[in-house]
Every structure is written in structure tokens, then in C-alpha cells.
Amino acid sequence: MIGAEVTGSPRVQINWVRIEPGGRADTHVHPMQDHGYFVIDGKLRVTADEADFTVGPETAVYLPAGVRHSLEAVGGEPVRMIGFFAPSR
């Protein structure tokens, strides 16, 4: 994780994220932070409010603050991605 303890800035946090096949992050919301991902490998199913879509490598997903969302690794390989929060959590 790259956050305030590394950069000295509370404005952004960057994480390396890995979700194993079939793994998921249940529906949740970040009320104060914009949130997003850049998918490196695998297929990621995203449910955001009423939208439901699947993205693959070299795809960015942006979720504004307050959007309820869930994530799931679909397919037979792990999802590897870079995630961010702004401001930092």
C-alpha cells in the first residue's frame, strides 16, 4: 500500500489487490472516497448501484464516493489489479 505513511499526503492511497477465482468483496460503500481499479490480469465482475459488468486486463473502473458496489473474480484465474482511494482511507 502506498498511503500517507509513505507519501506524507492524505489525498490518495494506492493498493495492490489480488482476488482468487470465485473470490469476492460483498456489497459495500465508501461514503467519503472516490475509488477505482486498473485490472492487470483476470476478469472482474463489478456491480455498481444498478450497473453490472465484467472487465478484463488493461481496463480501468472508477467508482465515485457513495456508490454501492461489489467485486467478484470470474473465470479460472485470479484477478490482479491496482486499486486507489482518494482521499486516503
Q: What is the pLDDT of residue 3?
A: 66
Tell me if 54 sits within 8 A of 14, measured CB to CB: no
Averaged pLDDT of the chain: 91
Beta-sheet strands, E only, within 1-89: 13-19, 24-28, 34-41, 43-48, 51-55, 59-63, 69-74, 79-86
Could you tell me the residue ranges of all domains in the chain?
16-82
Q: Give the CATH fold of the 16-82 domain.
A: Jelly Rolls (2.60.120)
Q: pLDDT of 49-86, one tens digit each?
A: 989 999 999 999 999 999 999 999 999 999 999 999 88
C-alpha dist (Å) from residue 74 to 6, 21, 28, 43, 59: 33, 6, 19, 6, 15
In the prediction, which pLDDT does 1 show?
62
Give the lowest-confidence range in 7-21, 40-54, 58-72: 7-21
**pLDDT for the residue numbered 10:** 73
